[in-house]
Structure 1
């Protein structure tokens, strides 16, 4: 098990290995996403947050997942096209991952171990969100029903700390 968020890496949708250390000093929002989910319109809110705060140090990281109701059945090209065409997503998107079970991606194994949920650490559905401060410490977990705009006060507070 990695000792911290910055020790981990993930494969981008374009096939490049990206170390989480690349986001050191930034406030990071990690989200497991799906393109055929009732929460899929949250892509729009996530993109709004990202565009509004990226110059202040926010980065949103999207991780497509097909573990809930087969709601992300497509391949890389379909995911990329859907995100861009339907929601104008410009934040980093990663390869499709598992978030639960024996093949859960290390980023999600780590985040779940640091921030358990109401029903234990297991992720219940798509669009579960994890907020990480600029030092790489996971600070808050949000349920899939929590709309991205509701995260703004938490993000603003963490960004203010990085500015001081």
Structure 2
């Protein structure tokens, strides 16, 4: 971990408090009408950081959280909270990180550099996708084209506002929530949304439109 990364990790709680005070990157969007996708996300595949490829069809029956990430960002410490969320909902939730260099060049590392950084510093065990583009453009990752196009997902056009934007897919492949970066993966809104409908975790998701 570089000196900058250590500094960012140390000040992370203050950064989150500041962004919430300034109401920056705090939006939560909910599919309140239960709009269904026009195209199935299960038809898509993801090239992984390790050279393998996974099909999202393998995760039918689980919730899936898709998150764009970076190693040199004020939100990078959320890798730790994502791992905690992943462990808390073991076998009921899949998390896939999508490293990207779209915001202020905060992810310059190679796929191998990113994998080593995540494993050593945060103990990440959930899958990492190959580094790609997540913002709207001709090069946008197909997963994020689906997530940010209502003609595909049924309702949402919101692209990542910064690193560590989070999209939640339910057990049937419906996009249910978008969480801005300042919404912690272990925050009440996210935990309730992930736990909604799960046996023994029956609280309904809450949030802001």
Normalising by structure 1, report the TM-score: 0.90
Map Cα deviations across residues 11-67 of structure 1 (whole Å, 9 max, x no partner): 011111211111111110100010111000000000000011123x11111110111
1:49 alignment counterpart? 85
2:159 alignment counterpart? 122
1:137 alignment counterpart? 174
Which of residues 152, 162, 186 in structure 2 aligns to 1:149? 186
1: CA distance between counterparts of 2:99 and 2:197?
25
1:92 alignment counterpart? 127
Map Cα deviations across residues 122-157 of structure 1 (whole Å, 9 max, x no partner): 322110000000011110000011111121111111
1:28 equivalenced with 2:52 (yes/no): no
Which of residues 10, 35, 43 in structure 1 aligns to 2:46? 10
5+ residue gaps in structure 2? 1-37, 203-209
Tell which structure's C-alpha radius of gyration is larger: 2
Report if aligned partners of 1:25, 1:162 keep a CA contact under 8 Å in 2. no
Report if aligned partners of 1:133, 1:158 keep a CA contact under 8 Å in 2. no
Moved more, 152-161 or 2-11: 152-161
The CA deviation at 1:161 is 9.2
Normalising by structure 2, report the TM-score: 0.72
5+ residue gaps in structure 1? none
2: CA distance between counterparts of 1:160 and 1:153?
13
1: CA distance between counterparts of 2:160 and 2:169?
17
Aligned length: 158
Which consecutive segments of 4 or more residues in structure 1 shift more than 6 A?
Answer: none
Which of residues 78, 85, 96 in structure 1 aligns to 2:113? 78
2: CA distance between counterparts of 1:131 and 1:15?
25
